[in-house]
Structure 1
Amino acid sequence: MSPEWLTTAVRPARVRTAVLCRNEGSSYPLDSWGYSVADWVRFPWEPEPAPGHVTEPLPPLTGLNRRPEPSRPRT
């Protein structure tokens, strides 16, 4: 579902995006994300991986990454 339905229904002044894991190969412009990852992420609520499939836990999250705010013209 595209985000246009939200702006049409609610008419917010701004819509921001935030995710736990951002794929390093993605070009989607996020506002905030916890981890930049290059591999598949298995979340705790997903089924267990196949036997023999090696997983590696993410380190504790200590902060968020943020896209730089656009410069505002001085008035």
Structure 2
Amino acid sequence: MQIQFVGIDPDTDEDGCPTVWVDTGTSDLLIQSYTADDESTAECHALSPAKAPIPPTETVIRIPQRMVPIIRKACDELDGIQ
């Protein structure tokens, strides 16, 4: 695995905060963020074209808007290795 740190929430308190990494071996994004609340998760499920329960190996996460530039940077880094 070739994990590279990309960025952390600029408003971090450095105690369990949204963070983004890239796996340059698989071109996957790895994201640590807040677990979505039950209401948001239920709405995402209702709007999903899959119409199946969210499997236990998946979850809905909430990424703060201020993290969008960091996610863009991660995507740009992955585009550069393909």
Question: TM-score over 0.5 for the alignment?
Answer: no
TM-score of the aligned structures, taking structure 1 as reference length: 0.23
Bigger relative CO (Cα 8 Å, ≥ 6 apart): 2
| Structure with greater proportional strand content | 2
| Structure with greater proportional helix content | 2
Report which of the two structures shows the higher radius of gyration computed on alpha carbons: 1
